Structure 1
Amino acid sequence: MEPVLFYGVPQGCSFGSVVVLEWLGQPYRLCRIEMMEQPWDPLYAKVNPLFKTPALLLEDGEPLTESLAILQHLVACDLSTRLGFEQGSREHDRLNQMLAYLTTDFFAAFGPLWTLYDTQGMSGVEQALLRRLGREQVAEGCAYLDGLLAKREWLLGDARSMADAYVMGIARWAEYHRLFDLGSDYPNLARHLAKLRDDPAVRFAEAIERGEQPTGQGHFRGHVSLQELEPRLAPDALSA
């Protein structure tokens, strides 16, 4: 069977990995994880003991976790797409630097907001503090990206890379949490996101999250359940 990407809804950062899979044009399947349903199926511990998404089940039954590792693995299979670059090249270093920023600093900036989203019973003061901290941190990240995109067509320059797919999945959280008007406050970032939303792969990923059944570019082989995948899951699978 083809590799299987475990993606989380709603608003999972795995969105970027779905987009990259479509851009690559290689056969793959998806397994949907409803992150708000608790507890998660204990079988998922064989995929990722930390119970997080995304995860990628490789053809040999070994799972690969963490967005940075998954994205690098996917594009390394076909560098001719120019979504990634050869290890050791200056282009690879620049891409790694951008991905590291997006998967750590920019992702973490939304932490207080997701804590507020997931937690009940907080006082009004605590809620206001989390929202203020989150807004300040996200604003700093958006300002940084907006400045980069003032001089570039894509995050790394003149051509798209997997970093653009990943930033789409994260930056949209600013709109989801209604932090500010991206179009007014960060017009270059807003322009970039609008351009990405016109991309067929991004539209496909959005439809997948909504629970629709799009065909994409024809390389998507459908959904598969955790139970169907159980025979492929290594009994001692560990998260890296």
Structure 2
Amino acid sequence: MKLYYSPGACSLASHITLNEAGVPFTAEKVDIRAKRTETGADFAAINPRGAVPALDLGDGEVLTEGVAIMQHVMDSAAPGTLPAPGTLERARMAEALNYVSAEVHKSYSPFFGGIEGEAKERQYALVDARLKVVEDRLARRGPWIAGKDYTPADAYLFTVTNWSQIVGHDLSKFPHVVALREKVAARPAVQKALKAEGLA
């Protein structure tokens, strides 16, 4: 398998998950703006959406969308690691993955388009509102975002909240989120992915 990634982008969560699964894979960096991989390949031919992550499964299939990649990797390479299909725990994990994807991730995206002034302040407020939901969830049913066990949803939340430092957002008002981030950061799979992407 080959993971196509951009350092520090949302693909970091898939990189972490591949490490957690212990599956052999290679990783190739992508210049998202130029749509070229580090070996000079046309990334648009690999993923027509032009976004990371993309996972070449090695059999002619390319899987995109981090939420799908993370679940597929764990289910296929480390069966039994994730909550079983049909259980409430599995639904809680899907709920957390989708919330991070649709709400938290997307609330950071406008910062990378160069917003300023009042628009930027409104966006900070939106990030705060989205993270308050996570903070309250962790306080009620933590210690992990989906409940008592670590899942790829935690890797995803860790990845997107890394962007707070880049965009000047203060995470300190969310102590449960900060504590979760510290636990995720200490995991060997995370340290390995950060080092491979030149982030540690």
Give the TM-score of the pair, scaled to structure 2.
0.90
Q: Would you say 1:86 and 2:84 are equivalent positions?
A: yes
Match runs of 1:22-171 below 5 Å: 22-35=19-32, 38-41=33-36, 43-77=42-76, 78-80=78-80, 82=81, 84-116=82-114, 127-151=116-140, 152-171=142-161
Deviations 1:179-215 (A, max 9, x none): 11x23x1111111111111111111121122178xxx
**Which residue does the alignment assign to 2:176?**
188
Q: Would you say 1:197 and 2:182 are equivalent positions?
A: no
Q: Is the 1:6–1:31 Cα contact (8 Å) retained in structure 2?
A: yes
Give the CA deviation at 1:133. Answer: 2.5
Q: Is the 1:14–1:53 Cα contact (8 Å) retained in structure 2?
A: yes
Work out the CA distance in 2 between the residues paired with 1:111 and 1:133. Answer: 13
Work out the CA distance in 1 between the residues paired with 2:168 and 2:184. Answer: 20
Give the partner amino acid of 1:34. Answer: D
After superposition, the CA RMSD in angstroms is 1.7
Match of 1:206, SS state, is helix
**Which residue does the alignment assign to 1:208?**
196
Q: Is the 1:112–1:130 Cα contact (8 Å) retained in structure 2?
A: no
Deviations 1:17-55 (A, max 9, x none): 1111111111111111133xx422262122111111000
Give the CA deviation at 1:76. Answer: 1.4
Work out the CA distance in 2 between the residues paired with 1:95 and 1:157. Answer: 8
Which runs of at least 4 in structure 1 moved beyond 4 Å after TM superposition? none
Give the CA deviation at 1:114. Answer: 1.5
Give the CA deviation at 1:68. Answer: 1.2
Deviations 1:50-75 (A, max 9, x none): 11100000121211111111112111
Give the CA deviation at 1:132. Answer: 1.4
Give the CA deviation at 1:172. Answer: 1.2
Give the CA deviation at 1:148. Answer: 1.5
Range moving further from structure 2, 130-139 or 53-62: 130-139
1 or 2 for the larger relative contact order (CA 8 Å, sep ≥6)?
A: 1
Q: Is the 1:138–1:174 Cα contact (8 Å) retained in structure 2?
A: no
- CA gap 1:132/1:211 in 2 versus in 1, 3 angstroms: closer
Give the partner amino acid of 2:6. Answer: G
Give the partner amino acid of 1:143. Answer: K
Q: Which has the larger radius of gyration?
A: 1
Structure 2: give runs of 5+ residues left out of the alignment: none
Give the TM-score of the pair, scaled to structure 1.
0.76
Deviations 1:79-124 (A, max 9, x none): 22x2x233333222111111111111111111221111xxxxxxxx
Match of 2:86, SS state, is coil
Give the partner amino acid of 2:192. Answer: F
Work out the CA distance in 2 between the residues paired with 1:22 and 1:111. Answer: 26
Match of 2:169, SS state, is coil
Match of 1:112, SS state, is helix
Give the partner amino acid of 1:40. Answer: K
